[in-house]
Structure formats: structure tokens, C-alpha cells
Structure 1
Amino acid sequence: MTINLTALPKPQIIDEPNYDVILARVVSEFVTLWETLRTDNPSLNLPPYDVTMLETDPAVIGMEAESFRESLLRARINDAIRANLLAFARGSDLDHLAAFYDVSRMIGELDDRLVTRVILAIQGRSTGGTEPRYKFIAMSADLRIQDAIVYTVGRSPLIHVAVFSTTPDGVAPADLLTIVNAAMQNPAVRMVNDTIEVASAVQQVVNLAADLWLLPDADVATVARAEANLRTAWASARALGRDLTASWWTAQLMISGVHKVAPTAPIGDIIAPPASAVSLGTITLTNRGRAF
């Protein structure tokens, strides 16, 4: 299972600077030093320092400048810390962090995908052909792979690799399967006793239907926008083994202007097996009128 880095708590080492807090500390330290100077040198007849003096006072200007400089320095230190943490590293910082784990960015690969492969590479470091290891190899074969799942059926020793591509329907074309299969069969990565079979992810095309009630001031184009919002959201969320739940897809129809949504087909959830990805077929939305 891939670690969800976004669910981790904020690292304690990262301490976001607060200019006002820093300035208050600097002023307090200055006043303490000033009072010590007055006490130790009564002959100088130094007056008490009033921190509420005009902002044009040189001491005030100096303290504000020093506080701002410290804020910038601490922010830069935080950036350096983040650059060394997989959850935060981006761009070339992430490239260097990935290189530590013998992973290099593919041409055109986005940061989030590279992070996923780095995690898989770490999890897959084993003397055996682990699931994360084989998934890492599959996803490293070609940038057109959106997701892949490695599984076995029953007690069969055959290892299945189901590939979900970046094409609109998720079906992996023949040339992509050839590339992935070549990567999986490479003697340098495949365990001697493993038999691996690569195939495109099985597709479930689901037709959806629902009744919609619009708010009184909503225009009729709201129905079309609701469908577009659902398709866009599922295109982003769709993945191998992800169920299409009724509560999820009806929630995507609740855009501005929609008062109520009632699913009519299917009523229940669509369960996706591990090697299956659900695609949306037709979406039939019936405008039942307007209501509050």
C-alpha cells in the first residue's frame, strides 16, 4: 500500500516564522540590554528607553530590519528542510532526492507521479519480487501508465500485472502493453521462478441516471454543467480498484444551482475488482423542476 504523505503530521522541525513575534522578542532583548547599560553606567545618565517612540527612531528602524531579516532567514531554512522531505520536495529538489533511491524522472513526468514511484522503489527493495517492486517497474516503463496493480488469483503462482493507461477510457493500447511486458520480463528485474502476465485493466462501463431539482433562480444550463462536473471529477479520481459509490457521484452533481439529486440508476454502489477500472458511459439527468 502506498503511503499517503499528505496524511502525515507537519514536521516539528519546520517552525513557520512570525514577524510580529520575532519583533517583540528583539524589542524585549534590546530593552533588557539598554537597562543593563544604564545600570552599569550611571555616569552616562542614559534615559529609560520608551519602545513606543516614533518609527523614525534609528533603534526602532534597526530592530524592524533585523526582525524582517530573521524572518527571511528562517523561511529559507524551512524551504531547505522541505527540499529534503519527500512530502514537500518539488522540481529539481525532488530529482536529487529521488536519485538517492536510484530513481530518475521520466521525460515529462510530473512531481506527484515521481513521488509515487520513489515510494514504490523504497517499498520494493527486497530480495523477492514484491508487489511494490513490480508496480514500480511497470510504472517506470512508460509515462502513459496512470496506474498498475500486481496481483495473483487464488493459489495460482501466475503474477498478473493490470495496466491502466492515461487514455480517456483507460485501456492500454497494444504497443504500451508490449513495452510494459518487456520491462517486466527483463531478467535483471524478474525473479527466476516468477511467471508474469501483462494485460490492460478490465473495464466496467457504467451508465448513470438521476433526477435533479434546481433552485428557482438557476438557469437550465445548470444540468449540463452538473454532468460536466461529474465527468471531470471522475476522470481525476478514477483508478484501478476504485469503487464508484452512489454517494460520491451524486455529490458531484450538487453544484451551484442544484437543490436536490436523487439517483435512479444504479441505486447502489459499483464495486470495482482490483484489476478493474470503472468508466462512465451515458449520464442521463432529468430536470424535475424547481424547489427550495
Structure 2
Amino acid sequence: MTTAATLPPPSVIEPLDFERILATSKAHLLGHYPEAADTLALESSPLTKLLQTFSYRELLYRARVNDAARAHLLAFATGGDLDHLAAMFGLTRMAGEDDERLRLRLQLRIAALAGQGTREHYELTALTASTNVRAATARQSRPGAVHVVLWLHNPSLGTSAQVVQALNQDSARMLGVTVTVGTAQPQPIDIRAHIWRSANASPTLLADLQAHLQTQLAARAALGSPIARSWITTLLHIDGVAAVHYPSDTAPPPTIVLGADEYPTLGSVQLIDAGVL
């Protein structure tokens, strides 16, 4: 899905520069009152302070205009502004739902307007059935059949039954289409690496690396998306790491290929202190 990071900066958002606003204000004043040039050359003059105050207030006003513009852009809207955008398409925030999940559902809702039975329609229905659904993917398993894979935060809550019920409502399922639901399975990624430290490395470097891997993989993980060993190497190069070497080609392999019903998790991790480089 499109995010603010993948879009070019919107033209409606103006870069803010106090010094440029101040210079423009001075030039405008001198155009009408050139006799003030000597006074404006003095940083301590009351007229200079007045223009600085005016320019700062102008900066605050322009910042407010920028904020108002962002509030109407799906990639940037947050909180109540995002709620109002969602309401335009018949969506409301679910209990405990954060901005990113609501933004995802809204994007799916917009894409699903093409017609009932689209991939986005089924994925939106699954996400709306329960906030326990972290992600969902829909595909045509055979003609006349749709299979939806759920990635659940907590697999033991009986969420699959809720999703099945939601997907089989008359308003959600096309006539003549069979909809089935499955649960995604974790694919552990084993990592065994020799870590060379720099001279100023933290004494807790290996423990810090372990925590960093866990956090970053959890944030990056996606259903069916492959993980490259080169990306894991970048995660291991935090401050204090001089070099990383993998003693085998299997932990991790060059590319970890995941099925459509699999998501990556951290498996066995062995970080071996190779000394100072």
C-alpha cells in the first residue's frame, strides 16, 4: 500500500524558512519606505524587532496552513482528521485501532469501490471483522472460490470463526463464490554470525543486537514477502559492529522465500563474539 515515504513531497506543503520570510518582509517594507534602510541594518532597532515578530507570526500561520493541508491527505492524516477521511467512505475506527491500521483499511476500502469480489474487498472485510487480524491476503484458489489467509496477533481467540461469518454475509460474498479462511504460519529465520567489534563497542553489544533484530524483523515482517540475507546484515551493523561474517549459507540463506500463508519470525540466533577488528 502507498505510504508517505513512497510518495513525492506534496506541492501544497510549503517548506518553511524564517529567514526567507524575514528577508521578504524587509524587502517589501523598503520598497514602500526606503528611508528605513539604515534603521533595519541595526539588529537592535525596534523596527527590526517588529519585523522579526511579524515574520515569526507569519511562520506560525504558514505552519498551520501546512497542517491543514496534511489533514486532508490520506498518507499524512492522523487522529480525528483520519477518522473524518474514513467516514467519507463509510468506515469508522475500531476499538483500539491505531492510525496505520485504519489507514490500511481505508486504502483497501477505496480500492474495493471497483466492485464487490475484489481482493481488496475480501481483505478489508477480514480486517474489519476483528482487530486481532494483523494482516490478510485474499486469492482465487480455483474458479468460483476465494481463500483468505489471516495473520493473527493471538491465534487462540477464535478470530477465524468471526472472519468466516463476516465474509459469508450477503453483503460481503458474491453469489456463487465459496469463501474459505486459513491461518498464516510463522517461518523461523535462523541466524548464526561472527561479530567483530570496534574498539569503542558497548559491552552489551551482542544483547543489543539480539533485541534490535527482534524489533526490526517484527516491524518489517509481511505475509509472503521474502527476506534477503543482505537486509539482515544491515540490521547487524549497528554502532560498535566492525564486521559481520556468516560461517554457513543456511543461517540465514541468501534469500528466505516465504509462501503466501507464511510470515517471518526470529528463530535460533547465535551471535558469536569474534573479537576487536
2:15 paired residue number? 16
User: Does 2:148 correspond to 1:161?
Assistant: yes
Paired residue secondary structure (1:140): helix
**Which of 97, 110, 122 is matched with 2:110 structurally?**
122
Which amino acid is the alignment partner of residue 189 of structure 1?
A: A
Matches within 5 A, 1:79-94: 79-94=67-82
Paired residue secondary structure (1:148): strand
1:183 paired residue number? 166
Task: Report the aligned-residue RMSD.
Answer: 2.1
Find the aligned partners of 1:228 and 1:105 in 2 and give their Cα distance.
Answer: 32
User: Does 2:265 correspond to 1:282?
Assistant: no
| 1:167-210 alpha-carbon deviations (Å, 9 max, x no partner) | 4xxxx336111111111111111111221111111332333322
Rate the CA distance shift 1:228–1:32 in 2: closer, same or farther, 3 A.
Answer: closer
Which amino acid is the alignment partner of residue 152 of structure 1?
A: Q
Find the aligned partners of 2:37 and 2:206 in 1 and give their Cα distance.
Answer: 68
Say how many residue pairs are matched: 274
Find the aligned partners of 1:217 and 1:64 in 2 and give their Cα distance.
Answer: 46
**Which of 194, 208, 219 is matched with 1:236 structurally?**
219
Paired residue secondary structure (1:101): coil
Aligned-residue sequence identity (percent) comes to 32
TM-score by length of 1: 0.86
Rate the CA distance shift 1:32–1:182 in 2: closer, same or farther, 3 A.
Answer: same
- The answer to whether the 8 Å contact 2:40/2:47 transfers is no
Find the aligned partners of 2:46 and 2:208 in 1 and give their Cα distance.
Answer: 60
Find the aligned partners of 1:82 and 1:206 in 2 and give their Cα distance.
Answer: 39
Rate the CA distance shift 1:151–1:24 in 2: closer, same or farther, 3 A.
Answer: same
1:69 paired residue number? 57
In structure 2, the gaps of 5 or more residues are none
Find the aligned partners of 2:134 and 2:112 in 1 and give their Cα distance.
Answer: 19
Which amino acid is the alignment partner of residue 10 of structure 1?
A: P
1:5 paired residue number? 4
Q: Which has the larger radius of gyration?
A: 1
**Which of 224, 227, 230 is matched with 1:247 structurally?**
230
TM-score by length of 2: 0.90
Find the aligned partners of 1:219 and 1:60 in 2 and give their Cα distance.
Answer: 50
Rate the CA distance shift 1:259–1:54 in 2: closer, same or farther, 3 A.
Answer: closer
Deviation, structure 1 residue 252: 1.8
Which amino acid is the alignment partner of residue 290 of structure 1?
A: G
Of the structure 1 ranges 58-67 and 89-98, higher mean CA displacement relative to structure 2 is found in 58-67
Deviation, structure 1 residue 100: 0.9
Matches within 5 A, 1:27-106: 27-35=26-34, 49-55=37-43, 57-106=45-94
Rate the CA distance shift 1:276–1:215 in 2: closer, same or farther, 3 A.
Answer: same
Find the aligned partners of 2:193 and 2:32 in 1 and give their Cα distance.
Answer: 73
